Amino acid sequence: MPLILTRLAQMLFVLWVVASLLFYMFRLMPGDPTVAYIDSTFTEEQIQELRRTFGLDRPLHEQYLIYLRNLIVGEFGDSFHHRRPVLEILIDVLPNTIILTLSGLLVAYAFGTVVGAWLAWKRGTWVEALTIPTVLTLRAAPEFWLGMVLLAVFAFKLGWFPSGGANSPGATFPSEFSRIISRDFLWHLVLPAATLALYLQGLPLLLMRSNMLDVMGEDFITMARMKGLSSWSIIMRHGARNALLPVVTAFALGFGASVGGNVVVETVFSWPGLGKLLVNSIAASDYPVAQAAFFLITVVLVTMNFVADLIYSLLDPRVSHGRRH
């Protein structure tokens, strides 16, 4: 399918531009190209190693090509702050961000889709008149403020949930996997995920409602009624199935956007994820980490945009099965 190839090319183009932008911002602007990778606290040995890996003595265009190659293989240098390869640090925090984003989104979309469809059913009633402004108000609230309120009430005042972090301090786990599925982790996950869900549910809710209203007015719904099909068949099999498609696409897009937008929620809850890493590294001038974290977030965003297009073309038979007479 040529359209998919076009989108793929677009995706790679955007990534290339962003990579180049980062190259410019971190190497050319400060003037001294070594600032991006070498900190005064490194040993002479480390400095030589880094100079080699990134070709810091070479001419600029060679540096650029080396930089791009390193990017593709995941060579980001060493963190000034943590004294470890940046890639390791990224891999450590990535699961936290992905799980947080995924859980928040899943709850938000499950809730939003069901309530949105139900609201379409309740068109013209006071239920609708009351719910829509409420939903809009929630969307107008800053994510981090919602988190702060939840934190103040449920963690500090009621003590039901921990006040931050992804695991209790001092807790150890035999493997990364067991850490993620531990009760301790889930207990820490609740509030930040709830904050995300609260903030994000507005979009699928309004979208599903709008789609359902459009779909229920379509001729094939009238025909379904004429065939005497049950309400369940009509609303779910025909109505929701058609209305759901844009919501699924929105989910993919939402995932891409949230990974970057989570920054504030991760900060409020001290959640050790990619966003918090980005913020901390910029504040601490830990440039290798900052570059890498930003680039990784971009990769996720651009990839999910592409995935959204892919999903749409696969789910809509009009696109996936083409037209022929």
Partner 1 sequence: MADATDLPLAGAPPRWRLVKVIRLLAVPWRDPFAAMGTLIYATFLLIALFADVIAPYDPLEILFTPDGNLARSAPAGWQHPLGTTNLGRDIFSQLVVGTRAALVVGLTAAVAVALIGTLVGLISGFIGGWVDALLMRLADVALGIPFLPFVILIAGLLGPRTSNVIVGIALLLWPNTARVIRSQVLTVRERAFVEAARVTGASNARILFVHVAPNILPLSFLYGSIAVGWAILTEASIAFLGFGPSDRISWGYMLQDAYASQALSRGDYNWFVPPGLCIVLVVVAGFFISRGYEEILFPKLKD
Partner 2 sequence: MAILALEDLNVEYDSPAGAVRAVDRGTFSVPYGNVVGLVGESGCGKTTLARAVTGVMAPNARITHGHIRFEGRDLVTASPSERRQVLWREIAFIPQSAMNALDPVYRVSSQLREVLVERGGYRSADVGPRIDQLFRMVGLDPRRRRDFPHQFSGGMRQRVGIALALALQPKLLIADEPVTALDVIVQRQVLDTLVDLQKRLQLSLLLVTHDISVVASVCDRIVVMYAGQVVEAGSVAAVLERPFHPYTMGLTNAFPDLTRATDQLVPIPGSPPDLREDQVGCRFAARCPFALTRCRTHDPPLETVGDDHQASCWRARDAEALRLESREAQTWSRSSA
Task: Give contact residues for partner 2 (rule: CB under 8 A).
Answer: 218-220, 222-230, 233, 237-238, 241-242, 245, 316-318, 321, 323-325
d(CA 263, CA 260): 6
Tell me phi and psi for residue 78, to 5 degrees: -115, 145
Are the beta carbons of 39 and 80 closer than 8 angstroms? yes
d(CA 65, CA 184): 45
Q: Which is nearer to partner 1, 2 or 159 (CB)?
A: 159
Q: Which of 24, 156, 160, 220 binds partner 1 (CB under 8 A)?
A: 156
Residue 225 touches which of partner 1, partner 2, none (Cβ within 5-8 Å per kind):
partner 2
Q: Which is nearer to partner 2, 15 or 224 (CB)?
A: 224
Site residues for partner 1, 250-309, by CB under 8 A, read: 257, 259-261, 263-264, 267-268, 275, 278-279, 282-283, 290, 293-294, 297-298, 301-302, 305
Residue 105 CB-half CA count within 13 A: 21
Q: How far is CA 209 from CA 60, 132, 193, 225, in A?
A: 54, 10, 24, 20
Q: How far is CA 37 from CA 29, 54, 219, in A?
A: 14, 8, 62
Q: Which is nearer to partner 2, 35 or 221 (CB)?
A: 221
Residue 226 touches which of partner 2, partner 1, none (Cβ within 5-8 Å per kind):
partner 2
Residue 140 touches which of partner 2, partner 1, none (Cβ within 5-8 Å per kind):
partner 1
29's tokens: 């602007």
Closest contact distance (angstroms) between CB of 82 and partner 2 is 50
Q: Which is nearer to partner 2, 52 or 241 (CB)?
A: 241
Q: Which is nearer to partner 2, 83 or 225 (CB)?
A: 225
Are the beta carbons of 310 and 258 closer than 8 angstroms? no
d(CA 213, CA 247): 14
d(CA 222, CA 220): 5
39's tokens: 């900190």
Q: Which is nearer to partner 1, 250 or 301 (CB)?
A: 301
Positions touching partner 1 (CB under 8 A) are 10-11, 13-15, 17-18, 25, 29, 123-124, 133, 136-137, 139-145, 148-149, 151-152, 155-157, 163, 217, 257, 259-261, 263-264, 267-268, 275, 278-279, 282-283, 290, 293-294, 297-298, 301-302, 305
